[in-house]
């Protein structure tokens, strides 16, 4: 029974929140005259001593005492005697754990938000250094149109901004205090729920006692936000893996962030990027796992809910590690513009510019221009030359009205610079966005 029932091995991570909740509760009980001032003071003092024991690593958590709540209460009794038993007046472990866990998740939201911001800042600096660095932009992983590396970095800055926003909203939504809901129905004692809620930094007490002890959507909210952020991190991890292969060579990881092979001396493996990519599985798995635990539960509390913590702890640990690893990796990375440029030259990336020129200068409908450009690309391909190197006569054989001005739009620079539409890849647009994010992230 102890083996399956005890949660202290993992829920001891709630000790800090549990002590904060208990101190707020004891103070409230005394203020409302439910326990005496003297008892309230003794309880709070005892809890503070326990806090110091835990901080110093002297506290012995015992499995036989099941969970963090009973471990702390038991220690309090050892310290101050039977008065400790008054702490559990007008509460239950059900509202206690729900409160502790909300506080913990609130802290995790703040850490995720901060970690995301650091990563955004690293990406922003890369973007600023590479607002003009041309690389191939891809669709279907085929070279599509040239973009700049700065523009690519800013795409992730945008994604991570939305991720931050999800954590901010998660922290706001969860900020109602379950304490005082007691086991499930509320309590006959004349408690002041607003007092405890305020003391713990909540916006107010949760309005429905059943919901207060049964709800774990705050944990799902966190895990959903974490899963989406992890998905973004994983895409970036995947790009780092691809871009550090010799075939691409767009990036070179520092020695600190690459590993060797035990048998192949030439290897520089992007293990951290791969693990970031992989850990998204664990994080999404945590969401799916906990949603599955909760979906079949009749109201209010059931012990199934004890399984909420490992899912969130595991996801939070993974997410925070991934954010730190990604920020470390990218602040240490070497960008190789020559390789990016070489790749950008392959695959006729200015074919769209050719079509656009026909639309603009010859008033040809875009669909037809697309066809013309396609036929010209075919000739360039057959001759083994880039579009900018294809003789005018070859182009005129496809469309007689094309003249030498066409060469102005066929270079990579011309193509990138032309994409000046708001949010486009032109260096001037990229610099505008960099200025925007500098303001936002300062
Ligand atoms: N360790 C328990 C949990 O995490 C605390 C609540 C126990 N409540 C109960 N009625 N047995 O869910």
pLDDT digits (tens, 9 = 90+) for 28-77: 999 999 999 999 999 999 999 999 999 999 999 999 999 999 999 999 99
Ligand 1 pocket member 301 (CB < 6 A): yes
Using most ligand atoms within 8 A of CB, pick from 96, 303, 304 the residue to mutate for ligand 1.
303
Phi, psi (degrees; rounded to nearest 5) at 226: -65, -40
66-107: pLDDT as tens digits:
999 999 999 999 999 999 999 999 999 999 999 999 999 999
Residue whose C-alpha is closest to residue 135's, from 430, 423, 429, 416 = 416
Report the b/e string of 282-305 with b at 16+ CB within 10 A: bbbbbbebbbebbeeeeebbeeeb
C-alpha 178 to ligand 1 mean position (Å): 14
pLDDT tier for residue 335 given thresholds of 50, 70 and 90:
very high
Any catalytic annotation for residue 234? Answer: no
pLDDT at 265 over 90: no
Q: Is 140 tagged catalytic?
A: yes
Is 101 touching ligand 1 by the criterion CB < 6 Å?
Answer: no
* Residue 132 φ/ψ, nearest 5 degrees: -110, 0
Q: Strand ranges (DSSP E) for 133-186?
A: 134-139, 142-148, 176-177
The most distant pair of C-alpha atoms in the chain lies apart, rounded to whole Å, by 100
Per-residue b or e along 391-405, where b marks 16 or more CB atoms closer than 10 Å to that residue's CB: eeeebeebbeebeee
* Contact yes or no for 207/264 (Cβ under 8 A): no
Question: What token pair was written down for 270?
Answer: 């992007």
Residue 194 CA to ligand 1 centre (angstroms):
24
Phi, psi angles (nearest 5°) of residue 317: -60, -45
Task: Report the separation in Å between the CA atom of 320 and the middle of ligand 1, taken as the mean of its atom positions.
Answer: 27
C-beta neighbour count of 246 within 10 angstroms: 8
Give per-residue pLDDT as tens, 355-378. 999 999 999 999 999 999 999 999
Mean of all residue pLDDT scores within the chain = 97
pLDDT tops 90 at residue 263: no
User: What DSSP string runs through 343-370?
Assistant: HHHTT-TTHHHHHHHHHHHH---HHHHH
Nearest C-alpha neighbor of 364 from the set 373, 344, 124: 373
Beta-bridge mates of residue 269: 259
Residue 336 CB-half CA count within 13 A: 17
Residue entry with tokens 């999404």: 284
DSSP 297: P
Q: Looking at the predicted structure, is the pLDDT value of residue 400 above 90?
A: yes
How many other CB atoms sit within 10 Å of the CB of residue 278? 14
Strand 334-335 relative to strand 251-252, pairing: antiparallel
Cβ(73) – ligand 1 distance below 6 Å = no
Q: How far is the CA of 183 from the centre of ligand 1 (A)?
A: 10
Question: 96 CB under 6 A from ligand 1?
Answer: no
The b-or-e profile of 328-343 (16+ CB within 10 A means b, else e) is bbbbebebbbebbbeb
- CA–CA separation, 181 and 212 (whole Å): 6
Any ligand 1 atom below 6 A from CB of 219 = no
Average pLDDT over residues 382-396: 95
Confidence of residue 264 (pLDDT cuts 50, 70, 90): confident
**Is the peptide bond between 300 and the residue preceding it cis, with omega within 30 degrees of 0?**
yes
Catalytic option among 25, 36, 140, 421: 140
Backbone angles phi and psi of 135, in degrees to 5: -140, 165
Residue 161 and residue 113: Cα distance in Å, rounded?
Answer: 9
- Average pLDDT of the residues in 329-355: 94
Number of helical H runs and strand E runs in the chain:
18, 6
Q: What is the pLDDT of residue 435?
A: 98
Measured at the CA of 206, the angle between CA 308 and CA 51, to 5 degrees, comes to 60
pLDDT at residue 95, rounded to an integer = 98
Residue closest to 145 by CA, chosen among 347, 372, 340? 347
- Determine contact, residues 230/237, Cβ cutoff 8 Å: no
Residue 442 CB: number of other CB atoms within 10 A? 6
Taking 90 as the threshold, does the pLDDT of residue 268 lie above it?
no
pLDDT of residue 82: 98
Q: How far is the CA of 28 from the centre of ligand 1 (A)?
A: 23
Ligand 1 atom closest to residue 301's alpha carbon, by position in its atom list: 10
pTM of the full structure: 0.94
**Terminal-to-terminal C-alpha distance of the chain:** 53
Among residues 209, 258, 261, 262, the one annotated as catalytic is 261
Ligand 1 in reach of 97 Cβ (< 6 A): yes
């Amino acid at each position: 029974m102890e083996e399956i029932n005890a949660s202290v091995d993992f829920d001891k991570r709630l000790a800090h929140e549990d002590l904060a909740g208990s101190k707020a509760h004891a103070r409230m009980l005394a203020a409302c005259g439910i326990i005496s001032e003297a008892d309230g003071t003794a309880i709070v003092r005892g809890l503070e001593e326990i806090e110091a024991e835990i901080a110093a690593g002297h506290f012995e958590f015992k499995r036989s005492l099941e969970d963090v709540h009973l471990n702390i209460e038991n220690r309090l009794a050892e310290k101050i005697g039977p008065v400790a038993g008054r702490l559990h007046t007008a509460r239950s472990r059900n509202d206690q754990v729900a409160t502790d866990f909300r506080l913990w998740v609130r802290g995790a939201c703040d850490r995720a938000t901060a970690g995301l911001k650091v990563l955004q800042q690293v990406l922003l600096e890369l973007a600023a250094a590479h607002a003009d660095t041309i690389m191939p932009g891809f669709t279907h992983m085929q070279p599509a149109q040239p973009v700049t590396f700065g523009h690519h970095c800013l795409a992730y800055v945008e994604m991570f901004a939305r991720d931050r926003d999800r954590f901010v909203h998660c922290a706001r939504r969860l900020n109602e205090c379950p304490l005082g809901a007691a086991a499930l129905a509320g309590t006959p004692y004349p408690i002041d729920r607003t007092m405890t809620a305020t003391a713990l930094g909540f916006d107010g007490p949760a309005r429905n006692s059943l919901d207060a002890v049964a709800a774990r959507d705050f944990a799902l909210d966190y895990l959903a936000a974490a899963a989406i952020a992890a998905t973004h991190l994983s895409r970036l991890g995947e790009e780092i893996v691809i871009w550090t292969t010799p075939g691409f060579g767009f990036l070179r990881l520092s020695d600190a962030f690459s590993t060797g092979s035990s048998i192949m001396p030439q290897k520089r493996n992007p293990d951290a990027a791969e693990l970031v990519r992989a850990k998204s599985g664990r994080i999404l798995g945590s969401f799916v796992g906990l949603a599955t635990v909760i979906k079949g539960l009749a109201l209010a509390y059931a012990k199934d809910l004890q399984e909420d913590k490992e899912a969130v702890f595991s996801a939070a640990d993974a997410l925070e590690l991934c954010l730190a690893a990604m920020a470390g990796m990218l602040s240490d990375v070497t960008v190789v513009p020559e390789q990016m440029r070489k790749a950008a030259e392959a695959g006729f990336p200015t074919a769209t510019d050719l079509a656009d020129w026909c639309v603009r200068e010859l008033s040809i409908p875009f669909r037809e221009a697309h066809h013309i450009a396609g036929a010209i690309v075919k000739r360039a391909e057959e001759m083994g030359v880039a579009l900018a190197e294809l003789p005018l006569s070859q182009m005129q054989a496809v469309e007689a009205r094309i003249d030498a001005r066409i060469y102005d739009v066929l270079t990579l620079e011309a193509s990138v610079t032309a994409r000046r539409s708001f949010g486009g890849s032109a260096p001037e647009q990229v610099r505008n966005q960099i200025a925007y994010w500098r303001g936002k992230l300062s």
